[in-house]
Amino acid sequence: MVARPPVVVVMGHIDHGKSTLLDYIRKTNIVECEAGGITQCISAYEVMHKDETGTDKKITFLDTPGHEAFSKMRERGAEVADIAVLVVSSEDGVKPQTIEAWKTIVESKIPCIVAINKIDKPGANVEKTKQELAENEIYLENYGGKIPCAEISAKIGTGVDNLLSLILILAEMENFTGNVAEKASGFVIEVNLDSRRGILATLIIKNGSIKKGMTVVVEDSMCSTRIMENFLGRNIGEASFSSPIRIVGFDKMPRVGARFRTFQKKSDAEKYMGGVPSRPASPSLSHQEGESKKTIPIILKADVSGSLEAIEKEIHKMKSDSVEFRIVAKGIGPVSESDIKGIASGEDALVIGFNVAADRSAAETAQKRGIAINFFNIIYKMAEWLEVQMEEKRPKIETMETTGRAKIIRAFSRTKERQILGGKVTEGKIGLNSTVRIMRREFEIGQGKIVNLEKNKTKTSLVEEGSEFGMMIESKTEIAPGDVLESFMITQK
């Protein structure tokens, strides 16, 4: 057993600077290439930092998404990690996702360091932020608790070395160890589908070592380690604990968050797989109670399984009394021709591609059938669009609103379908060209249209309550004194 590098998860509210912190640590720039500046998939990186003795020590960082739809991915990050860094902005203080991230850390029972970020900003108030943390039962050192704290500016690098040193000190105190001689085991943190290379999975090794020629098993999926890459995408021959690695060529999609094991011989891996129960089918997202609702089918394709999971969660949250979304097909990779062909003609289906494109054949088929393929790379933009779709596609209820009533006092002359009448407005307004219901003793006996309207023998377009008028009405129904005309408008709700 030897000491192993810590795996650190960086958590916190959206826009509080998690990616900027990692960005500074790695001396590269990924924030700009993130859509909308939001991290939308877990990424793992290795960095080196000198400890108190000047020795280079390795730290593995996990970056987790901040948007609330990605809570499952954040939980997974905390399960895999040894230490959590909770990033809080000294400008904005404690936010809802700060609390959510803290709860995840507490449930995972992993040690935590709080990084108070953006201390270089004019609006920074470190003391107020510490006070807010204490009010939410996050007790820092010197504030009634034992949680270490680093005051940092992720943008210009102030205090970042101190944060890394705190991580190494905490790792030493926790005494994380691993056995190099054992076969590697750990967790799947991300899965995606490459059109050329097949199914790729990013793994974090928590114990043991992995070499080329071994076989990796994740529940009911298997892969040989012929192609193994480090976090920079470079081919490697072996790796050990705390390292993030990518393995290419799984026979089926591994479940994200599942444990993996490695075997020297493929026959041993197959034997082990034989004893693994098959994966349960994913639960349907349809609302069973709403059978009378209009159902809008969704075909959903995404770049990685984490995004797929987050989008499903976001769609599941959208509720309406008269309409529901139902994911009828989902998968990782580009929108394909078979996805489009799976839509029945006349079906009100929505096709969504998240961070993926469409095959040429799929685009051509969709165009011929008049099916729109909708592409997104930011989850909240997609959610906003779906809200609009839900409103537009829900069944509309037509309601009749009475805008005015008039009592007929005299009937003057009548031709085939036109009649001249005199009356008085008893309620609301009666307007020229409005359609009216003809009421006799509370029953509707017909309808008509006002084609001429006069008040004090002068043509007018509107007669208000209390006024007498003369009118010409177009109707097949003969109107008599004492009848009531009701003008109305039909609205959709």
Select the CATH number that applies to the domain covering 185-274 from these four: 2.40.30.10, 3.40.50.150, 3.90.1640.10, 2.30.29.30: 2.40.30.10
Confidence of residue 114 (pLDDT cuts 50, 70, 90): very high
Three-state DSSP state, 99: helix
Q: Angle 491-291-321 (CA atoms, 0-180°, nearest 5)?
A: 40
| 2-178 and 398-492 agree in CATH topology | no
Helix (H) or strand (E) holding 160: helix 160-174
- This prediction has a pTM of 0.59
List the single range of 37-51, 132-146, 233-247 with lowest mean pLDDT. Answer: 37-51
Whether the per-residue pLDDT at 41 is higher than 70: the answer is no
**Comparison of pLDDT for 3 and 72, the residue scoring more:** 3
Name, in order, each residue with C-beta under 8 angstroms of 297's C-beta and a sequence gap of 6 or more: 326, 327, 328, 343, 347, 348, 349, 350
Confidence of residue 493 (pLDDT cuts 50, 70, 90): low
List the single range of 167-176, 198-207, 254-263, 283-292 with lowest mean pLDDT. Answer: 283-292
* Whole-number Å distance between alpha carbons of 227 and 212: 8
294-393 placed in CATH 3.40.50.10050:
yes
Chain segment 42-84, per-residue pLDDT in tens:
467 788 888 778 888 888 887 665 444 445 555 565 667 888 8
Whole-number pLDDT of residue 42 = 45
445-471: average pLDDT: 91
Q: Where along the chain do its domains lie?
A: 2-178, 185-274, 294-393, 398-492
406 with 469: CB under 8 angstroms? yes
DSSP state of 321: S
2-178 placed in CATH 3.40.50.300:
yes
Three-state DSSP state, 154: coil
348-362: average pLDDT: 85
Whether the per-residue pLDDT at 342 is higher than 50: the answer is yes
List the single range of 278-282, 411-415, 476-480 with lowest mean pLDDT. Answer: 278-282
Per-residue tokens: 396: 């509309």
398-492 placed in CATH 2.40.30.10:
yes
Chain segment 404-452, per-residue pLDDT in tens:
999 999 998 888 889 999 999 999 999 998 889 999 988 889 999 999 9
Confidence of residue 346 (pLDDT cuts 50, 70, 90): low
Whole-number pLDDT of residue 281 = 47
DSSP 4-22: -PPEEEEEESTTSSHHHHH
6-28: average pLDDT: 79
Chain segment 414-425, per-residue pLDDT in tens:
888 899 999 999
Whether the per-residue pLDDT at 473 is higher than 80: the answer is yes
Three-state DSSP state, 334: coil
* Whole-number Å distance between alpha carbons of 228 and 273: 22
